[in-house]
Amino acid sequence: MTLPEAIDAHPVRRVSRRLAQMPLLVALAFVVVCVVVMCAVLAPWIAPYDPSLQRLDVGVSLPSSDLILGTDTLGRDILSRSIHGASTALVGPMVIAAGAFAIATILGLLAGYLGGWIDTLIMRWVDFMHGLPSTLIVIVVVGVIGGGYWVAVAVLLIAFVPSDTRIVRSAVLEQRPRPYIDAARSLGISKPRILLVHIIPNILPIIVAYVAIDFAFALVNLAGLSFLGLGVEPGTADWGRMLSENRNLLLGGNPLGTLVPASAMILTAISMNLIGDWLFEEFIG
Amino acid sequence: MTLASATEDFLTVQDLAVSSGHLVITMPTSFHVARGETLAIVGESGSGKSLTAKAIAGLLPPGVIAKGSVKLEGCELNGLSERDWQRLRGRRVSMLLQDPFTMLNPVMRAGRHLDEVLRDDPMFHDRKARRAEVERRLAEVGINNPAVADHFPFQLSGGMSQRIALASSLARDPEILIADEPSTALDVTTQAEIMQLLKRAQAQRGMSLILITHDLRLAFSICDRVLVLYAGSVVEIGRAGDLGSGPFHPYSAGLLLSEPSATRRVKRLVAMPGRVPVAHAVVGQCAFADRCDWVEERCRAARPALEQRAPGRFTRCLRQPEIQGELDALRHAALEVAPAILARPANERPAIKVDAITKVFAGKTTTHALKGVSLHIAPGESVGLVGESGSGKSTLGRCLVGLETPTTGKIEIDGIDAHDFEALQPDDRAYLRRTVQMVFQDPYSTLNPRHSVGKTLAESLRVGQFSGDMNVTIARLLTEVGLTADYAKMRPAQLSGGERQRIAIARALAVSPRLLVCDEPVSALDVSVQAQVLNLFKDLKTARGLSFLFITHDLAVVRQIADRIVVLYLGEVVEEGSVDQVLSEPQHPYTKRLIASIPASTKHIQGAAEL
């Protein structure tokens, strides 16, 4: 026997009940993400200085009352650059996670629901992609094409598709033998409609949870490319870029130049991971 | 309470109440089990029977607590530390669980499960002695091939796994065994074998047995006393014979009446209205009050006490003395036999003709699910398709609605060749979809969890080329299956199993089919709900003139609902004929075995009624 539980299936009420029972850590994660989003949106208004304003006369400086986090070698304000960096830290990973899942959902649905040679074709491609050292490929491709933020985003997006396809396919395979799908089939409902109206709503929670987790991975990967000089244009305020530009200041000069963007990155990634895990546990597991 | 009476009481349960936080799961319960005695705890899902059993064995899940006392020969068990339990479990108290497929550790060989239990015994420190003992124990549960000990659980059938589990729960010769639905997940014939083994092991050891079950027939056939649990309250305790022939509580009476009989067809099953409430909702009143025909003001005023009304017979019904006559009369009336099924004219044109179909599932091991099965169903006829798991009965049903395509053979529906739905003209295919519909077994996944009931029905109506007011028609469909129009707004998670199954039936009816293929439509439902749904099928048959193909393993269900019966065994039809003929005079050995495996308790129930 299962324990009697309050029967409450109304989606809105269910969601609000779950939200009310959110653990503190997840609540903190939501706060972190909200702060980062606000930084990204409101950067021009809340950043004290122009992020690319160079003050060579100031040069490297430690925190002071005027420059709260100090400056880098070119005299640029670390705080302003960190705040402005939030936008590239959010937009790229969001596009990667959502885009990769959009493609993976289509591939996963086709592979999982139709089966047969379509499944074989898609999954062998996935296996092939998994066989490649993806990070290395990304570095080579971006290096050859010539870098740039959106090229890096596009390449990472494609690199994320294979594993996402596997996730979607397995979720579809779980729903497919359920009687409600059989019932729809025996009513003669068309395949596209079964996929769209019956299967997608039931695998959506899994997708949403994994988008959050993918976001965290994309953030770290994209910052890694920027660190190597393959992501954003030189000079752009970007956390990964700042890490590489200011790495010489870590032991002398202004350590905050690397510590602040690094912490921002780690906090955002961990927060998104926590949120993804929590979504997964609450709405699927 | 006067329950703890004699000195021979071996296990005494006094005011045992299970709760989770502030949520009441069972109300204080008292009973006793004598040495060597068999007590059945009978109840529908949600009655709290499994948790009561787990509370006795100290196996409650985290967060669930038991108050009260459980004494084994004067020694208090409730609240023992895990270390003390370790010494007791297996040796004095042992438990056998329901699902044979998840009960064994999948990475441990079958014999290891026994070996683990024997390991602590100084007599079996030697590996060889232990192995010999394992083999002896396996032989005791009817496994004479010692090689089975080296198999992994996934290589074993459900019946085999359950035998291994039984052997390991008996390995230390416990003084009391608590068996929680030990045969529910098994095929009918295997069920009977497991219960025989259990009975034999009990007799040899003089062991006490608590059998938790929802199956009244089983309880009456092998138990000395029966305890009926309803929504967390004991409503009646009595000797199996007494309780079976003249229950003292309206709920026990209702439960007995709603159990379909395998030996005779009744006009209409007696179904209790409504569903089992949660224990928490009925704490301060008679738990059954809301579904009882004899309810009075005082039934709701306070929770009645369990009172002795005859030697050894206890009931929680306040009105038992006044209504006993009515309860008995009701049972006589319910046994009124339905008119004989009229033979069909020989030249009638069948609506469905299945001709020598085979179905082969390719794979690592090729499975021949159907080996040349032929079948016909006349308009308005109910055909029962009986067989155990692996007989191919579900595959046949799925072929009829186009969910599977037979490998060879012909299916003709209304003159259309329907063996391959994909190859049909779109018009013909749409016509077939509207002609044949299916109701599935598992009520919990038969509906799309993200769609409201209304949306599910609307989709089906649109397929049936419906024009008119959608809401009115949905309301009419819901009324037809015994629900109200309010259900349209609900989602599957808010509904009970029986309600979901009704919605699934309404979904099938929405396209106005002429044949309904029902794959074990009531096997997952509680007895009282099962009777409601079977009555619904009977009504639909009369009102809509529907033909039915009932796929089931339950002969009692077939007896109540089918006109003709087809017995499928390992992909072949082994027997076919009218229900009365096949069930009364089975010809094929398999059919005979199937009928012999029905627990014989119905003798109690009906023997009394015939007096």
* Domain annotation covers residue A190: yes
Residue in A with minimal Cα distance to B500 = A180
Name the closest residue on chain A to residue B455, using Cα atoms.
A197
Q: Decide: B213 and B181 in contact? Cβ < 8 Å.
A: yes
The continuous run of DSSP H or E covering A263 comes out as helix A256-283
Spatial distance between the Cα atoms of A176 and A195, rounded to a whole number of angstroms? 10
Question: What is the ipTM score, two decimals?
Answer: 0.77
User: Looking at residue B33, what is its pLDDT?
Assistant: 92
Tokens of B434: 């509207």
Check A3 against B459: CB less than 8 A apart: no
In the DSSP assignment, the letter for residue A144 is: H
Residues B283 and B415 in one domain: no
Residue B311 lies in a domain: yes
Query: Angle at the Cα of B582 (from B388 to B565), degrees rounded to 5?
Result: 60
Measured between beta carbons, the chain A residues lying within 8 angstroms of B509 are none
Q: CATH number for the domain including A142? A: 1.10.3720.10
* B449 vs A4, A183, A202: nearest CB: A202
Q: How many Å lie between the alpha carbon of A106 and the closest alpha carbon of chain B?
A: 20
More confident: A126 or A245: A126
Which of A4, A7, A183 shows the shortest C-beta gap to B23?
Answer: A4
Residues of A in contact with B441 (CB under 8 A): 179
A170: in domain: yes
Residue B455 lies in a domain: no
Point out the residue among A4, A178, A186 whose CB comes nearest to the CB of B278. Answer: A4
Closest chain B C-alpha to A15 CA, distance in angstroms: 14
Dihedral (C-alpha) A182, A188, A192, A193: value to the nearest 10 degrees?
A: -80
- B546 falls within a domain: yes
Given this model, what pLDDT does residue B506 score?
A: 94
Q: Is-contact B201 B16, C-beta < 8 A?
A: no
Which residue in B225, B237, B212 sits closest to B38, CA to CA? B225
Residue B281 contacts A, CB cutoff 8 Å: no
Among chain A residues, the shortest Cα distance to B50 is held by A1
**Chain B CB within 8 Å of residue A1 CB:** yes
**Res B2 pLDDT > 60:** no
Question: What type of residue sits at position B22?
Answer: H
CA distance B90 to B137: 14
B507 in A contact zone (CB under 8 Å): yes
Q: In the structure, what pLDDT confidence band is assigned to residue B215 with cuts at 50, 70 and 90? A: confident
Shortest CB distance from B429 goes to which of A188, A198, A201? A188
Q: What is residue A54's predicted lDDT score, i.e. its pLDDT?
A: 86
Tokens linked to B471: 């809401």
How far apart are the CA of B26 and the nearest CA of chain A, in angstroms? 11
Q: How far apart are the first and last CA of chain A?
A: 19
Whether residue A180 and residue B280 make contact (CB cut-off 8 A), yes or no, is: no
Q: Is the pLDDT of residue A240 over 50?
A: yes
Does residue B366 sit in the same domain as residue B309? no
Contact with chain A for residue B38, Cβ under 8 A: no
B517 with B423, same domain: the answer is yes
Confidence of residue A7 (pLDDT cuts 50, 70, 90): very low
One domain, residues B425 and B525: yes
B25 touches chain A (CB under 8 A): yes
Q: Which residues contact A221 (CB under 8 A, 6 or more apart)?
A: A135, A138, A156
- Does residue B373 lie in a domain region? yes
Domain coverage including residue A237: 25-39+83-283
Min distance A166 CA to chain B CA atoms (Å) = 23
Look at residue B603 in the predicted model and tell me its pLDDT: 43
State whether residue A10 sits within 8 Å of chain B by CB: yes
State which residues form the domain around B431.
Answer: 352-444+512-600
3-state class of B272 per DSSP? coil
Number of H helices, E strands in chain A: 11, 0
Out of A201-205, B141-145, B343-347, B459-463, pick the least confident: B343-347
Chain A contact set for B50 (CB, 8 A):
1
User: Which DSSP state fits B360?
Assistant: E
Neighbours of A115 (CB within 10 A): 13
Residue A233 clears pLDDT 90, i.e. is over it: no
Residue in chain A nearest B516 by alpha carbon = A186
A189 and B491: CB-CB below 8 Å? no
Residues B285 and B401 in one domain: no
Nearest to B601 by CA among B82, B226, B201: B226
- CA atoms of B609 and B604, how far apart (whole Å): 9
Which residues of chain B make contact with A11, given a CB cutoff of 8 A?
A: 491
Cβ of A179 within 8 Å of Cβ of B446? The answer is yes
CA distance A162 to chain B (A): 27
In 3D space, the residue among A284, A253, A247, A229 whose CA is nearest the CA of residue A71 turns out to be A253
Residue A171 included in any domain: yes
Average pLDDT, integer, range A205-225: 90
Given the DSSP bridges, would you call strands B313-315 and B307-310 parallel, antiparallel or unpaired?
A: antiparallel
Tell me how many degrees the CA angle B514-B520-B522 measures, rounded to the nearest 5: 100
Name the residue of chain B whose CA is nearest to A198's CA.
Answer: B448
Q: Could you list the beta-strand ranges (E) of B365-460.
A: 367-377, 382-386, 408-413, 416-417, 436-439
Which range among A11-15, B90-94, B255-259, B287-291 shows the weakest confidence by mean pLDDT? A11-15
pLDDT tens column, B388-431: 888 888 899 999 998 988 999 999 888 888 888 888 888 888 88
Highest mean pLDDT among A122-131, A237-246, B123-132, B334-343: A122-131
CATH code, domain with B574: 3.40.50.300
Is the model's pLDDT at A279 over the cut of 50?
Answer: yes
Amino acid at residue number B78: N
Q: Is residue A62 part of a domain?
A: no
Chain A contact for B214 (CB, 8 A cutoff): no
Token pair belonging to B239: 């000797």
Q: Is the dihedral of CA A64, A66, A69, A71 positive or negative?
A: negative
How close does chain A come to B443, measured CA to CA in Å? 9
- Interchain contact, B441 vs A179, CB within 8 Å: yes
Residues B369 and B282 in one domain: no
Q: How many domains does chain A have?
A: 1
Which of B266, B247, B328 has the alpha carbon at shortest distance from B556?
B266
Number of Cβ within 10 Å of residue B266's Cβ equals 17
Q: Among residues B557, B524, B555, which one has the least CA distance to residue B538?
A: B557
**Structural domain includes residue A64:** no
pLDDT for residue A9 is more than 80: no
Interface check for A281 against chain B (CB to CB < 8 A): the answer is: no
Dihedrals φ, ψ of B471, to 5°?
Answer: -65, -40
Residue A229 within a domain: yes
A9/B493 touch (CB, cutoff 8 Å), yes or no = yes
Q: What is the pLDDT of residue B597?
A: 83
B429 inside 8 A of chain A by CB: yes
Instruction: Evaluate whether residue A71 is within a structural domain.
Output: no
The minimal CB distance from A4 to the residues B280, B507, B511 is found for B280
Number of independent structural domains in chain B: 2
pLDDT digits (tens, 9 = 90+) for B63-103: 889 999 999 988 898 888 888 888 888 888 999 887 777 88
Q: Which of B429, B445, B453, B486 to mutate to test the interface with A (most CBs of A within 10 A)?
A: B445
Contacts of B97 in chain A (CB under 8 A): none
Task: For chain B, say whether A180 makes contact (Cβ under 8 Å).
Answer: yes
* Residue ending a domain, choose from B275, B302, B336: B336
Together in a domain, B402 and B547: yes
Which pLDDT does position B600 carry in this prediction?
63
Percentage of chain A beyond pLDDT 70 is 93
* B255, B381: one domain: no
- Convert the pLDDT of each residue in A84-107 to its tens digit: 999 988 999 999 999 999 999 999
Residue B263 within any structural domain of the chain: yes
Are B357 and B318 part of one and the same domain?
A: no
The predicted pLDDT at position B157 comes to 84
Size of interface A-B (CB pairs under 8 A): 83
Q: Do B463 and A189 make contact, defined as CB atoms within 8 angstroms?
A: yes
> Do B258 and B392 lie in a common domain?
no
Alpha-carbon span B414 to B352, nearest angstrom: 7
pLDDT at residue B8, rounded to an integer:
58
Residue B343 confidence (pLDDT):
66
Distance CA B505, CA B480 (A): 10
* In a domain? residue B93: no
Q: Give yes or no: residues B440 and B532 share one domain.
A: yes
Alpha helices (H) in B76-234, listed in sequence order: 82-88, 100-103, 110-118, 127-140, 158-170, 188-205, 216-222
Q: Are residues B528 and B409 in the same domain?
A: yes
Residue B302 lies in a domain: yes
Q: How far is A113 from chain B (nearest CA, A)?
A: 14
Decide: helix, strand or coil at residue B247: coil
b/e per residue B52-91 (b: at least 16 CB within 10 A): bbbbbbbbbeeebebebebbbeeeebbeeeeeeeeebbbb
CB contact under 8 A, A179 and B398: no
Mean pLDDT of B315-322: 88
- B225 in a domain, yes or no? no
Percent of chain A with pLDDT over 90: 42
In a domain, A218, yes or no: yes
CB A247 within 8 A of CB A258: yes
Sequence-distant (≥ 6) Cβ neighbours of residue B297 within 8 angstroms? none
* Distance in angstroms (rounded) separating the CA atoms of residues B403 and B391: 18
Whether the CB of A284 is below 8 Å from some CB of chain B: the reply is no
